[in-house]
Amino acid sequence: MAAPGDIPQAGPALQRAQRDRARRRKRMRWGLLAPALVVIGIFGLAPLSIALVYSFLEPGTYGGVTWAFSPEAYVQFLFQRDIFDDTLGFNGAYLRIFGRSFGLALITMVGTLVLGFPVAYFIAARPEQQRNLWLFAVTLPFWTNLLIRTYSMMLIVRDEGFLNGALIWAGVINRPLSIIYTDGAVLLGLVYSYLPFMILPIYASLEKFDFRLLEAAHDLYASRVQMMRHVALPLTRPGIVAGCALVLIPALGAYITPELLGGGKKLMIGNMIALQFGSGRNWPFGSAAALILMSIVLIALLVSLRSGAKPEARHG
Amino acid sequence: MIDIDNVTKQFGEGAAAVQALRRVSLTIPEASFFTLLGPSGCGKTTLLRLIAGFELPTGGDIRLDGQSIGHLPPHHRPVNTVFQSYALFPHMTVARNIGFGLEMQGRKPSDVAATVNKMLTLVRMEEYAARRVDQLSGGQQQRVALARALAPHPKVLLLDEPLSALDLKLRKQMQGELKRLQAETGITFVFVTHDQGEALAMSDQIAVMSAGEVQQVGSPEAIYTRPRSAFVADFIGDTNIVPATLLRYEGGRAVIRFAQGPELCANAASDALAAGPVQVALRPETITLTDAADPAALMCGTVAESTYQGAATQLTVRLETGPEIRVEVTDPPSPGARVGIACDAAMLQVLAD
Ligand SMILES: Nc1ncnc2c1ncn2[C@@H]1O[C@H](COP(=O)(O)OP(=O)(O)OP(=O)(O)O)[C@@H](O)[C@H]1O
Ligand SMILES: [Mg+2]
């Protein structure tokens, strides 16, 4: 009988075999990961690194960059250099653009959530055979280019468009409402284009949702509103968080919609960044603005993910 | 007391219509353990869902203590349900699950906490208060589901086959537990099962249903010994249904005769049957075997098959008139032997249909 702690040792041949196997497994793991790492490296990290490097260089006169280190792009984001004495004065113009963009993106997010949740709920509550048809209807707009859809939206909301035409015909108004080229038009366009991104992830979590739980809650004296608040919403929260992220992030960087429906009058971040690489000829500033935007989004995302991971956060 | 008055429930319209319940009338006494028993698809769940308020009756009414509740939504009825799938809220702890109903009723947090603790003790789950429900075993989830439904102290607790997901041993244990909870809380339990053994063991009263209709209501003993119809006799326990001749009624009892043997005074499910051929229910364990020539023998036949079952042996006897009947005895004759069938007349039940 073996004494306690007396673990039988593997023989030398077995030890060698174990070491070989471990080495082979490690080699295989890296081999399998390699294609993904290459793709992430080329399409993710490389452009980001270029942007990061460019943001610390000086702008070239005709676009591009001059290879001299300068933090000017980041300074320019908040301050304005006086032309005469070179002193720095605070400049809120870019912050305002960021603020406006965030405001519009947040309203877009809330709008798509308010419209999208009932739609997703409706689809998930259909009999199984019907659901794919409804989902197809939701994804149908993706078959058409966003640019074309945005132009169609312009046709609808412009002064002589369908909307005003219909309202005048119905006698609700007698002069066309000026909708196009306002924040309202931009919002309308954003909500319209991003709605499917909200519906689909919420539907995905509602599809897994056990509707019998609602019956149980109803039986336990919950009203319809309470059923939603205490059972349906918390259990579909991952879908809601995902939907919000999928709408908020691209809405922040939206380019086509504010350009066309907003008439390019009031800038959103996307347009501002595009401008720096175009007629603004300030590539470092464009890069810096893009990176600042990315950092803000990243932090917001981490915070929301952390709160999304704790379903039982406040209840004791 | 629940009064189910002529309740009809139809699903769908026109050609696709399903009559799930047809003119069901029942009275479920206060503070009793009442069981709905019947084969799959006979409408047990439907009746329970009507009482809970998940469905509205197509016709008729449901009254609770004299007040009509047939039209109220579930959250306005003092009735709670233990679901077959338990339907516990996976995002809440055991304690919050149990307290959910009280919280929705707007009770004070201190009240809720006190009741939750009481319920945890009642179902013997004190140590599990802070657990998530997906970390519990099937039997434990069952207890939480029970505690959750009992916590708001409803007038009626509905249980839809709550034990069907448990293994045999746990099932037996929970049967006792349910009985105990019913007695301790004094709440009316309406229990659904298609297991006749479970129904007999637990109920104060049983309603046997088939095809959307109530066949018979009574105590387990009454249902077992005095089945009204061939359906009930066959559904509850093992039984032989043997043809006989009804001669007349005498003092509320039916005088019948089998293929041979004396005239017997048997119990009758109905006192309005016409004289002539009738069906008689005969439980295998009430039969004694005698000599074929014994004048007390009601019929005779040969032993066709013999199955040893431990405590008793089950015999299949082929009667001389054709049918086979099952008999349970402790000292079996060998197959092929010619035997006479005798039975205490008090154990015979003449069926109404
Ligand atoms: N929502 C519904 N729509 C259409 N028909 C239904 C619906 N619910 C039940 N039925 C039908 O009503 C009848 C009774 O169903 P019910 O679920 O009450 O049976 P049950 O006695 O509970 O059966 P089981 O023992 O299998 O649970 C069945 O024929 C069933 O198909
Ligand atoms: Mg059922």
Q: What is the pLDDT of residue A79?
A: 87
**Pick from B203, B225, B247: which residue ends a domain?**
B225
Nearest Cα residue to atom 12 of ligand 1: B20
φ and ψ at residue B53, rounded to 5 degrees: 100, 5
| Cross-chain residue pair B54–A215, CB shorter than 8 Å | yes
Q: How many domains does chain A have?
A: 2
Write out the two tokens for A236: 């579909």
Q: Rounded CA gap, A153 and B238, in Å?
A: 74
Largest CA distance in chain A: 102
Residue B233 within a domain: no
**Pick from B199, B225, B251: which residue ends a domain?**
B225
My answer on whether A64 and A128 are in the same domain is: no
Residue B232 within a domain: no
My answer on whether B111 and B8 are in the same domain is: yes
My answer on whether B57 and B138 are in the same domain is: yes
Residue B192 within a domain: yes
My answer on whether A127 and A156 are in the same domain is: yes
Task: Supply the mean pLDDT for chain A.
Answer: 88
Q: What is the pLDDT of residue B96?
A: 94
Q: What is the pLDDT of residue A107?
A: 95
Q: What is the mean pLDDT of residues A269-296?
A: 90
Largest CA distance in chain B: 78
My answer on whether B188 and B253 are in the same domain is: no
Indicate the length of chain B as a whole number.
Answer: 353
Write A3-10 long-range contacts (CB < 8 A, 24+). none
My answer on whether B12 and B161 are in the same domain is: yes
My answer on whether B114 and B79 are in the same domain is: yes
**Pick from B202, B225, B248: which residue ends a domain?**
B225
Expressed as residue numbers, the domain containing A162 is: 96-210+242-263
Contacts of B93 in chain A (CB under 8 A): 312, 315
Q: What is the mean pLDDT of residues A219-235?
A: 93
My answer on whether A166 and A86 are in the same domain is: no
What percent of chain A lies above the pLDDT cut of 70? 95
Residue B247 sits in a domain whose CATH number is 2.40.50.140
Identify the residues whose C-beta falls under 6 Å from ligand 1: B 11-12, 18, 20, 38, 40-46, 194
My answer on whether B193 and B78 are in the same domain is: yes
Distance from CA of A308 to the nearest CA of B (A): 12
Q: Which ligand is nearest to the CA of B10?
A: 1
Residue B231 within a domain: no
What are the pLDDT digits (tens) for A104-117? Answer: 999 999 999 999 99
My answer on whether B208 and B244 are in the same domain is: no
My answer on whether B172 and B243 are in the same domain is: no
My answer on whether B210 and B272 are in the same domain is: no
My answer on whether B207 and B244 are in the same domain is: no
Residue B319 within a domain: yes
| Cross-chain residue pair B100–A230, CB shorter than 8 Å | yes
My answer on whether A63 and A196 are in the same domain is: no
Nearest to A312 among B52, B85, B91 (CB): B91
Residue A180 within a domain: yes
Q: What is the pLDDT of residue A313?
A: 40
Distance from CA of A129 to the nearest CA of B (A): 19
What are the pLDDT digits (tens) for A135-187? Answer: 999 999 888 888 999 999 889 888 888 888 898 888 888 888 888 888 888 99
Number of A/B CB contacts below 8 angstroms equals 65
Grouped pLDDT means (10 residues each) for chain B, 353 residues? 91 87 92 92 92 92 91 92 92 94 93 93 89 88 92 93 83 88 92 90 92 92 89 87 84 81 80 82 85 79 84 84 84 82 83 81
Expressed as residue numbers, the domain containing B255 is: 238-350
Nearest Cα residue to atom 6 of ligand 1: B11
Q: How many domains does chain B have?
A: 2
Q: What is the pLDDT of residue A235?
A: 92
Residue B230 within a domain: no
Q: pLDDT category, A310, cuts 50, 70, 90?
A: low
My answer on whether A87 and A132 are in the same domain is: no
Q: What is the pLDDT of residue B145?
A: 93
Q: Rounded CA gap, B238 and B245, in Å?
A: 23
Nearest Cα residue to atom 5 of ligand 1: B11
My answer on whether A259 and A316 are in the same domain is: no
Residue A142 within a domain: yes
Q: What is the pLDDT of residue B56?
A: 92
Q: Tell whether the model's pLDDT for residue A1 goes beyond 60.
A: no
pTM for the predicted model, two decimal places: 0.79
What are the pLDDT digits (tens) for A42-93? Answer: 999 999 999 999 999 998 888 888 888 998 889 888 888 887 888 888 888 8
| DSSP helix/strand/coil, A175 | coil
Element (H, E) at A2: none
* Residue of chain A whose alpha carbon sits nearest to that of B130: A316
My answer on whether B173 and B281 are in the same domain is: no
My answer on whether A169 and A248 are in the same domain is: yes
